[in-house]
């Protein structure tokens, strides 16, 4: 654990991306292969299935800390991280012991076996582990148990570090890491293998991502060089047909095949050796359903007949990555699109426009179609890994916006621990403010500090972690969509709300009313 | 505040009717007794100020040359109306006091901000027995247990040395008043030259004038272009990300604060390192200090007052939270916002 905790500390002790990558590169060169494999797994956000029930882990952390339960909860709220609170509350925080056992040993002989043990033995193993470690190592160990291992590195940076340590190109590493990558010595060796014919049957390609278009579209040159499509609000997915099997991958790198039987059926109709990129959307009477409807079935592992009937899903295909068992990502979009059309599946339609002006007016129809705006893709571009600029643009329609008053606040997690950063906003309904949206993002760090300070000095009441704040601050809340909702007090649910601006020029009485908000509902 | 006539809370702050004075008031009053000169305790606009002699120059720097400031010595008891008051070291910063108020056999102590840990730059905290104790609660959670300051200073030295070896400057942020001087007294000045931000330099000079031995520092702006590689620069946290800081070329940043105990608190401020060093009592420190007063009534003013109040109540004490405008150790800003940063920018 020593070496891995040191890696964690080194990455945690710098704010510079290059220093973090260099620390990982060093680790990958020095650590035993099995440790490197596990480090990759955890640094990429991997997590073992709950090694112990959180309820028990919490109870043991409280027992060993010798504090009342409520105080433990207060500490958790202040630290914003369960693993950290538990580590900080452990007795003798300054004891100087070191553990030299390799990470793989900790994971394979402790973390991974926990799940199958009876409760009493789980407890013994956890307590024994805590006692072998120093404060920093204990924190890392707790993180391995609770998951959510964040040290400010993205998967892309981990990939870069592996590439630097192994001299294998980043995109090959990225490809090899996709899917069900199971860490082991041999998995690590395969990751670094120079032979490149190892793609397994289920493996998707890294997704090509779009940048928001901030400039005017005519800065992109001739409209004829671009493919315009609607930007759908669904689940970005790759549908894979290989060796008679179907796989569906989400952009979050999750295998979601079982959740979409309709799409598995669709995949069965594709020729072997085909990979399609597209958006999964709720679909009824030839129309896209709102994302909120799709959301009702995303989380479910068991799909009832009624939910399948209520929210049928389709794939709006827009790209072809593999055809006739060949990786065609290097071909220009124009050619890939032609091959995609030959498959005869439902496509995200191309929007034909003679000029940017035409396209600009087409874009105004987005909301009626349940779309978020337009995608612009350069017709001569290959399908690239990640977010290369200038190939794909998302040109969203302008968001809705409403002026609302800050009424409740809650402390954030992780980076925002013990700062009030999670806000609820209200709009007027007669002479009362009704909560209408929650928002967490959009303010600068400086504004967050000022708002945090205001909240601390103007808290009227507390209900658990939620503070009722004197209604004084007005914010412009921007959001992408609005729907009727019976679950929300205001009667509406908004999508992607965020703080567009702090309206310091406005008083609470200048904020909008629920009637104004509901008028948007009719317009939408 | 029915159970005590000795102290009450008014719109202006803590008030003693028997002596007709306020302690650390936040709105203008006739007579203000000041525990220490951090911005939230010593405010401008009072008709008269009373503080301990060691704290007078700092208070003057804070509330202005023309302010009417009288001083007393630590432990000296003076009559004010029907009350007697005396000032006792709080161990927070130079000249910080707990104020003891006695009238008709009742004794209350207002502790301002305090710490129990050692600090070479100020008089150590002195427990005072009393009936009622007014305490802060900035770090009143058991996750806040400070490591020995030697360990923290060793970490700072190591960081500075590593930066120096890499040809980088080390920018260390901490409160300009108190924290900066405590760090100066604790770090190893043989590693390299030490430069200061204007706010730090000014207050450090006041400490030196008061006889606190501190290693030599150079005002970072005093002369033209310098080579800062390998040096240490002490600055208030508000300088982070400012134009002022860019002149130091290639540098690593760190913040010394009790909040650095929590990873999230460091991660959200774009700084490289967080060193745990606070001028406030940690959780065991608060509980021990409160126990040592033998007080039965405890008022908790600012910080994490709820967990402290609840813990004290569970111990059988009469404890309550009192809403003040004190702020404790602000995670996010400098102690002396008006300290001439514009001149430095």
**What would the mean pLDDT of A81-104 be, rounded to a whole number?**
88
| Residue A216, pLDDT score | 77
CA distance A271 to chain B (A): 49
The minimum CA-CA distance between B77 and chain A, rounded to whole Å, is: 35
Main-chain phi, psi angles of B219, to 5 degrees: -65, 120
DSSP codes of every residue in A371-398 = EEEEEEEETT----SB--TTTEEEEEPP
The verdict on a CB contact (< 8 Å) between A449 and B332 is yes
pLDDT at position A252 is 66
Nearest-CA distance A472 → chain B (Å): 18
Q: In this structure, are residues B280 and B138 in contact, taking their beta carbons and an 8 Å threshold?
A: yes
- B267 Cβ under 8 Å from any chain A Cβ: yes
User: Scanning the structure block, which residue is given the tokens 């964690």?
Assistant: A8
Q: Hunting for tokens 């079935």 — which residue is that?
A: A297
Please judge whether A457 and B264 are an interchain contact, meaning their C-beta atoms are less than 8 angstroms apart: no
Residue among A65, A67, A80 minimizing CB distance to B264: A80
Q: pLDDT averaged over chain A?
A: 88
Cβ-based contacts of A15 with chain B (< 8 Å): 253, 270-272
Contact B262 A80 (CB under 8 A): yes
Q: What's the rounded mean pLDDT across residues A197-217?
A: 77
Say what the pLDDT of residue B338 is. 34
Structure confidence at residue A482 (pLDDT): 83
B269 touches chain A (CB under 8 A): yes
Does residue A19 carry a pLDDT above 70? yes
CB contact B310 to A (< 8 Å): yes
Structure confidence by residue, pLDDT tens digits, B218-277: 998 875 667 899 999 999 988 887 888 888 889 999 999 999 999 888 877 778 899 999
Question: For position B3, what pLDDT does the model report?
Answer: 44
pLDDT at A112: 93
Mean pLDDT value across residues A247-261:
80
Residue A194 has pLDDT above 50, yes or no: yes
Confidence band, pLDDT 50/70/90 cuts, at residue B336: very low
> Is the model more confident about B326 or about B186?
B186
- A9-19 mean pLDDT: 85
Distance from CA of A11 to the nearest CA of B (A): 10
Closest CA to B95 of B68, B119, B67: B119
Higher pLDDT, A16 or A150: A16
Position B337 confidence tier, pLDDT thresholds 50, 70, 90: very low
- What is the rounded CA–CA span in Å between residue B96 and residue B93? 5
Whether the per-residue pLDDT at B283 is higher than 90: the answer is: yes
- As given in the structure block, the two tokens for residue A295 are 């959301």
Lowest mean pLDDT among A16-30, A44-58, A172-186, A419-433: A172-186
Residue of B nearest to A446 (CA): B332
Q: Which residues in chain A touch residue B39, judged by CB atoms under 8 angstroms apart? A: none
Do the chains contact at B314 and A74, CB–CB below 8 Å? no
Q: By the CB < 8 Å criterion, does B51 face chain A?
A: no
pLDDT of residue B302: 84
Interface probe with A: pick from B155, B262, B282, B311, most Cβ of A within 10 Å: B262
| Chain A residues near residue B239 by CB distance under 8 angstroms | none
pLDDT in tens, A124-172: 999 999 999 998 899 999 999 988 777 778 777 898 999 999 998 776 7
Name the least confident of A447-456, B322-331, B335-344: B335-344
Within 10 Å of residue A518's Cβ, how many Cβ atoms? Answer: 16
Q: Per-residue confidence at B38, pLDDT binned at 50, 70, 90?
A: very high
Query: Scanning the structure block, which residue is given the tokens 């399609």?
Result: A276
Residues of chain A in contact with residue B314, where contact means CB-CB under 8 angstroms, are: 68
The mean pLDDT of A332-343, rounded to a whole number, is 96
Residues of B within 8 A of A445 (CB-CB) are 268-269
Please, which pLDDT band fits residue B116 given cuts at 50, 70 and 90? Answer: very high
Residue pairs between chains A and B whose CB atoms are closer than 8 Å = 81
Query: pLDDT tens digits, residue range A280-295?
Result: 999 998 889 888 788 8
For A158-162, A269-273, A438-442, A461-465, which range has the lowest pLDDT when averaged over its residues? Answer: A461-465
Considering only CB atoms, A79 lies closest to which of B143, B145, B271, namely B143
Q: How confident is the model at residue A522 (pLDDT cuts 50, 70, 90)?
A: low
Token pair recorded at residue A299: 């989380």
Could you give the ipTM of this predicted complex? 0.89
Q: What is the pLDDT of chain B when averaged over all its residues?
A: 90
Q: Which residues have C-beta within 8 Å of that of residue A96, sequence separation ≥ 6?
A: A134
Mean pLDDT of B69-80: 97
Q: Confirm if B308 and B317 have CB atoms less than 8 A apart.
A: no
So what's the pLDDT on residue B328?
67
Between A55 and A370, residue with greater pLDDT: A55
Window 78-137 of B: residues touching A by CB (8 A cutoff) are none
Residue B147 near chain A (CB below 8 Å): yes
Q: Compute and round to an integer the Cα radius of gyration of chain B.
A: 20
Which of A135, A415, A446, A470 should be substituted to probe chain B, the one whose Cβ sees the most B Cβ atoms within 10 Å? A415
pLDDT at site A301: 61
pLDDT bucket at B342, cuts 50 / 70 / 90: very low
The more confident residue out of B174 and B4 is B174
- Distance to chain B for A420, nearest Cα, Å: 12
Is residue A8 predicted with pLDDT exceeding 60? yes
Q: How far is CA B38 from CA A453, B92, B178, B196, B339, in A?
A: 17, 10, 9, 19, 12
**Separation in Å, CA of B276 to nearest CA in chain A:** 13
Asked if the Cβ–Cβ distance from B264 to A445 is below 8 Å, we say: no
Q: Which residues of A touch B (CB under 8 A)?
A: 12-16, 65, 67-68, 70-71, 74-75, 78-81, 84-85, 88-89, 93-94, 152, 412-419, 445, 449, 452, 457
CB nearest to A13's CB, from B141, B273, B333 = B273
Q: Which residues of B touch A68 (CB under 8 A)?
A: 314
Q: CB under 8 Å, gap of 24 or more: what pairs does B154-158 form?
A: B155/B275, B156/B183, B156/B186, B156/B187, B156/B254, B156/B256, B156/B275, B157/B187, B157/B188, B157/B191
- The β-bridge relationship of strands A235-242 and A274-284 is antiparallel
- Quote the CA–CA distance of A493 and A484 in Å, as a whole number: 6
Q: Do B141 and A74 touch (CB under 8 A)?
A: yes
Cβ–Cβ contact B223 with A under 8 A: no
Sort out which chain A residues have CB atoms less than 8 A from B148's CB and list them. 94
Shortest alpha-carbon distance between residue B209 and chain A (Å): 35
Share of chain A above pLDDT 70, in %: 96
Q: Which pTM value belongs to this model?
A: 0.71
For residue B311, the chain A residues in CB contact (below 8 A) are 71
Using a CB-CB cut-off of 8 Å, the residues of chain B touching A81 are 263-264
């Amino acid at each position: 654990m020593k070496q891995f905790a040191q890696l964690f500390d080194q990455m945690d002790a710098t704010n510079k991306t290059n220093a973090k990558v260099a620390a990982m590169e060093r680790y990958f060169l020095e650590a035993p292969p099995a440790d490197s494999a596990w480090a990759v797994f955890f640094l990429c956000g991997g997590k073992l299935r709950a090694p112990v029930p959180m309820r028990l882990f919490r109870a043991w952390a409280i027992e060993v800390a010798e504090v009342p339960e409520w105080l433990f909860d207060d500490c958790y709220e202040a630290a914003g991280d369960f693993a950290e609170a538990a580590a900080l509350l452990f007795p003798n925080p300054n004891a100087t012991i070191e553990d030299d056992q390799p990470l793989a040993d900790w994971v394979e002989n402790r973390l991974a076996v926990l799940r199958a043990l009876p409760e009493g033995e789980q407890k013994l193993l956890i307590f024994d582990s805590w006692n072998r470690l120093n404060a920093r190592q204990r924190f890392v160990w707790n993180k391995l148990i609770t998951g959510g291992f964040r040290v400010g590195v993205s998967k892309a940076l981990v990939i870069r570090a592996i590439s630097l340590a192994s001299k294998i190109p980043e995109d090959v590493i990225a490809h090899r890491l996709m899917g069900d990558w199971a860490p082991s010595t041999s998995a690590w060796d395969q990751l670094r293998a120079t032979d490149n014919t190892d793609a397994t049957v289920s493996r998707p390609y890294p997704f090509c991502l779009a940048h928001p278009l901030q400039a005017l579209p005519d800065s992109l040159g001739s409209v004829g060089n671009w493919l315009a499509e609607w930007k759908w609000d669904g689940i970005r997915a790759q549908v894979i047909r290989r060796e008679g099997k179907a796989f569906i991958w989400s952009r979050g790198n999750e295998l979601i095949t079982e959740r979409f039987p309709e799409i598995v059926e669709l995949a069965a109709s594709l020729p072997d050796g085909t990979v399609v990129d597209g958006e999964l959307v709720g679909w009824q009477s030839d129309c896209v359903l709102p994302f909120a409807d799709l959301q009702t079935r995303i989380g479910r592992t068991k799909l009832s007949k009624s939910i399948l009937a209520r929210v049928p899903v389709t794939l709006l295909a827009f790209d072809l990555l593999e055809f006739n068992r060949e990786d065609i990502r290097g071909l220009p979009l124009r050619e890939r699109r032609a091959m995609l059309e030959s498959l005869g599946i439902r496509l995200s339609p191309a929007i034909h426009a003679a000029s940017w002006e035409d396209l600009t007016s087409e874009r105004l129809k987005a909301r009626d179609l349940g779309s978020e705006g337009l995608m612009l893709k350069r017709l001569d571009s290959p399908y690239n890994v990640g977010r290369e600029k200038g190939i794909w643009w998302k040109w969203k329609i302008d968001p809705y916006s409403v002026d609302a008053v800050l009424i409740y606040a809650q402390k954030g997690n992780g980076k925002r621990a013990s700062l009030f950063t999670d806000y609820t906003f209200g709009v007027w309904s007669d002479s009362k403010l009704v909560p209408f949206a929650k928002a967490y993002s959009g303010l600068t760090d400086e504004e967050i500090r000022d708002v945090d300070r205001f909240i601390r000095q103007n808290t009227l009441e507390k209900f658990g972690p939620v503070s009722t704040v004197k209604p004084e601050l007005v914010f412009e809340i921007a959001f992408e969509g609005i729907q009727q909702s019976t679950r929300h007090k205001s009667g509406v649910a908004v999508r992607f709300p965020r703080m567009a601006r702090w309206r310091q020029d406005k008083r609470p009485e200048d904020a909008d009313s629920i009637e104004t908000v509901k008028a948007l509902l009719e317009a939408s | 505040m029915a159970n005590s006539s000795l102290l009450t809370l008014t719109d202006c702050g803590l008030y003693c009717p028997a002596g007709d004075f306020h302690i650390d008031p936040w709105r203008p009053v006739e007579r203000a007794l000041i525990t220490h000169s951090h911005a939230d305790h010593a405010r401008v606009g009072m008709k008269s100020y009373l503080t301990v002699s060691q704290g007078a120059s700092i208070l003057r720097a804070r509330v202005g040359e023309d302010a009417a400031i009288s001083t007393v010595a630590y432990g000296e008891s003076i009559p004010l109306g029907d009350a007697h008051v005396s000032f006792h070291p709080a161990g927070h910063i130079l000249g910080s006091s707990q104020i003891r108020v006695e009238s008709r056999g009742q004794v209350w102590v207002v502790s301002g901000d305090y710490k129990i840990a050692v600090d070479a730059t100020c008089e150590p905290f002195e427990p005072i027995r009393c009936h009622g104790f007014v305490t802060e609660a900035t770090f009143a959670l058991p996750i806040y247990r400070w490591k020995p300051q030697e360990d923290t200073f060793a970490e700072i030295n190591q960081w500075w040395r590593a930066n120096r070896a890499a040809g980088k400057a080390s920018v260390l942020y901490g409160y300009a008043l108190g924290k900066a001087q405590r760090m100066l007294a604790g770090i190893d000045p043989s590693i390299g030259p030490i430069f200061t931000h204007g706010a730090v330099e000014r207050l450090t000079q006041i400490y030196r004038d008061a006889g606190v031995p501190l290693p030599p520092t150079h005002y970072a702006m005093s002369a033209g272009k310098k080579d800062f590689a390998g040096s240490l620069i002490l600055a208030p946290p508000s300088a982070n990300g400012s134009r002022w800081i860019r002149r130091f070329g290639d540098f690593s940043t760190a913040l010394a604060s009790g909040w650095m105990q929590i990873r999230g608190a460091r991660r959200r401020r774009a700084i490289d390192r967080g060193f745990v060093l606070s001028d406030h009592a940690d959780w065991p420190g608060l509980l021990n200090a409160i126990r040592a007063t033998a007080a039965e009534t405890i008022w908790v003013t600012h910080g994490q007052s709820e967990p402290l109040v609840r813990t004290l109540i569970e111990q059988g004490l009469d404890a309550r939270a009192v809403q003040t405008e004190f702020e404790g150790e602000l995670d996010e800003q400098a102690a002396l916002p008006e300290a001439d940063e514009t001149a430095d920018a």
